[in-house]
Amino acid sequence: MPKAIYGAFAGDINGSFKKCRPIPYSFGLFSGKMGISDDSILTIATMEALMEAGPFLPGSEYREKLHASMIGKLVGFYRDNPNPPGGGYGELFAEWCRGENHRPYGSKGNGAAMRVSPVAYWARSLKECRLLSSYVSEVTHDSEEGLMGAEAVAVAVYLALHGHSKAEIGEAMEGYYPGVYGNALKIYSSKECSSLASSSIPEALAAFFLSKGYEDCLRLAVTRGGDCDTEAAIASSIAEAYYGTDSFPMALAKVPSYLGEKYMKSVEAFEKAVNENYDVIVIGAGSTGTLIARELSFYELKVLVIEKSLDVGDATSAANSAIAHSGYDPVPGTKKAFHNVRGNKMMAEICKKLDVPYGMIGTLTVARSEEERKTLDALLKRAEENGVEARIVDAEWLRKNEPNLTEKAVAALYCPTGGIVNPFLLTAHAMENAMDNGVGLALGEEVLAIEKEAAGLLVKTDRGAYLAKAVINAAGTAADKVARMVNPDLKWSIHPRKGEYYVFDHFDGSFVRHVLFPLPSSKGKGILVTPTTSLNYLAGPSSEFEDDPEDASTDAPTLDEVRKAGMEMVPSLPWREQIRVYAGVRATPSTHDFIIGSDESEPRFVNAAGIESPGLVSAPSIALEVVEDIGKILPLRRKNEAKDSIRPYLKPLTMSIEKRSELIHERPAYGKIVCSCEKVSLGEIEDVMSRSLPCLTVKAVKKRTRAGFGKCQGGFCQPQVVLLLAKHLKTGIDGIAYGPTDSEILLSKARKGEGK
C-alpha cells in the first residue's frame, strides 16, 4: 500500500497558476505563485467524510451516513477557506455551500471527479469503489455526466493502485469515454479548456496514458493548457497509484508545505486509516500464507500479508523437495491426510491458472528386500483409506520404467497422482494473483507483538502497527512464537527439523522418471531422489531436529549420509553433475498434525501452523479451510472483478524457433541473454520486475527466472542482475541484497588505488 496519498494535491498545486494557457513542458515545479485550490481542499474533505462514515457497509443506512458526512465536510471546508490561494470554487458549488438546502444541483462539471480519488484507497473491491464514488458525488453532482466522470476517475485510480496495466485501465475507461485509450494523443492535443466532465476528464486520462512516469504525467496534464489544476489533479492521482508514491520524490517533499499543518493532519489521518486498518492480516508469506491470501482476495475484504523476509517464499517454501505428494502416507482421518488428498486434486488446475510448472509424474515408494516388501501392503491399505489411487508394481515393471533404480528393488508402491511442482513460482505467483486482486504486502517486517482490542487485533511490527478484525498465523517455523503473542498458555509447539539436499544439473531428462522414495520411517519419508520441473535432480533430505529455526547451514557428515542414501536408491547418481547443496527447515508440530482453526482463547486469531510435509501440496486446500474459518468472523461477499489467474509469462525456451524469432524481433530484450547457464533473457527479468509483486533481491530474481540457478551459480550473471535491480529500484548497487536483510553483495566503492 502507498506510503502517502499526494497525487491529487501535487497535480492541483502545479496546475494552479496557468489555467487555459499552454506552457513549456520544462516549467518549474512547485514554484512561483502556485498554491492549493478547491481541488485539494475538497479532496481532503472527502477523506474526512470517508473516515467519519467508516468502512463501507451495504445498504441505505451507510449511504445516508456518508451523504451526511460529505455534506458536512464540504460545507465546513468551504466556510473555513472560501478563497484558497490556488483558485476558488465553482459558482454553483459556492452557492450550494452558502445556502441552507443542500440538495444536488445537477452539475455536469468535473468537480466531483477532482475530489473522488480517496474512495479508490478506501474501497475493498471495484464494486465498492463504484458505489462509494456515487455516494460521495451525488450530494452535489446528480447528472449522468458528472457521476460518470467521477466514477471513471475512481475506477482508474483503483485499477492503477491494484497493479493493472495501462491496457487494462484503458479498456475499462473505454466503457466511459470511447476512444480515450486508442486515441489518447488526439484527445490530449485538443485545444479545449473546459470544466465539463465530458471534455476535461478524457484529457486528463489521455495525459496518464501517454505518460512515462508520475512526474511526466503531471507535466503533460499541466502543459496542454486546459482546466489544468483539475486535469492535473485527476491525472496525477492515477499516476501516483500506477507508478508509485516514491517515484516522484519532489512531490513527497513539497506537498506538505503547501497543504500546511492543518490539512496535513487530515491527510495523515486518512493515510493511517488506509495503511493500517484491515479486515484480515496474514502473517507469513510462504506457500500456505500466499495461497490463503489469494483465496481471500476473491472476497470484498481488505487484506494485508506481513512477511519478515524481503521476498515471499524465502524460507521453507524455497528449500523443500518440490513434490506434490499423492496422499498415501498421512494417517487416515488427520488434517494432513484430508488436505494432502484434496490439495493434490486441486494442484493441476491451480498451477495452470498461476502459470506454474507442474508434472504428475507419479511416485514410487521402493522396497529393497522381501522383508521391506511386506510393508508395501500396509502402505497400499493406507492409500486406499485415504482415497488415493495406488498399486504395487514388481521388479520387472521397475526395471522397465526406472532403469537406473537399484537392482535391489523388488517392488514399489506406485501412486500415479503424485508429482512435482515449482515451489518458488507457486508461492510468488499466488501472491502476485492476490496483489492483482488488491491484497497488500509488507516485506521486511517482523511481527513483535499482537494486542487484543475491542475493534480487533493490533499487530505490531518492527516498522509499524496494523489493526485487523481477524489475523491468520501462517508463520511457519515461528508459528508457535506468534501464537503465544495471543495465547501465552499455548498447548502446542513447533520443533524445527532440518533437511539437507544435493542439487544436480539438468544432464539427462530421463535419468529418473518418477519421484523415488525409500520406505518411510519415524523421521519422515526418507531420503528421496527426484526430478524437478526445471529438469534438475534432487537427492535428500536428511531429517534432524534443529534448535535454531533459521539455521539453514549444511555440514559434511550429514551430506555424506544423504549421499550414501541416494546411491542406495540410485547407484549411478552422477556426482560430477552435482552443482550445489542447500538446507531447509520445516515446522514439525508437537501434535503430529496440521494445526488449523481459531485459537481457543481468541476466535479472531486463526492458526495455519505446523504445516510440514506434505504442506506444499496441501496449501491450496488449507487455504479453503482457513477462509471458511474467516467466514465465521467476517461476512464474505465475493468480488465480481477478482481474477483467479495471472497474466502468463513469456518463456522463449518453450517456443518454436519461429515464434521465438518473432518475439525477439518485436521485443529485442528477449534476445539478450543475461544467464547463459539457464538461458534467461533480459526480457524475462524485466517482466518479473514489472509485476505487482515487488522484486527486491538477487534471490527473488533467481527464484522467479532461474537466473543464477545454473552450473556457475550466478558467477557470471549476478553482476548484471545487481545492476538491473539497482536501476529498477532506483538505488545504488551497494544497496542490493542477495536475499535476507543485511546481505548486501557490495559494501562500498573501493578507494582509488586499493587492490593494486
- Looking at the DSSP bridge assignments, the partners of residue 755 are none
Q: How far is CA 449 from the centre of its chain?
A: 24
Which segments of 386-528 does DSSP mark as H helices, in order? 395-401, 423-436, 479-484
Q: What is the DSSP letter of 272?
A: H
Distance between CA atoms of 529 and 515, rounded to whole angstroms?
6
Spatial CA neighbour of 34 closest among 237, 220, 233, 314? 233
Please, are residues 415 and 326 in contact by the beta-carbon 8 Å criterion? yes
**3-class SS letters over 146-215:** HHHHHHHHHHHHHHHHCCCCHHHHHHHHHCCCCCCCCCHHHHHCCCCCCCEHHHHHHHHHHHHHHCCCHH
Spatial CA neighbour of 339 closest among 618, 626, 30? 618
Please, are residues 741 and 462 in contact by the beta-carbon 8 Å criterion? no
User: In this structure, what C-alpha cell is assigned to residue 32?
Assistant: 512561483
Spatial CA neighbour of 70 closest among 87, 91, 49? 49
Percent helix / strand / coil, the chain, rounded to 5: 45, 15, 40
Other beta carbons within 10 angstroms of residue 25's beta carbon come to 11
Give the H/E segment covering residue 503: strand 494-504
Q: What are the b/e assignments for 564-589, b being 16+ CB within 10 Å? A: ebbeebbeebeeebebebbbbbbbbb
Which positions are annotated as active-site residues?
325
Q: How many CA atoms does the CB half-sphere of 319 hold within 13 Å?
A: 26
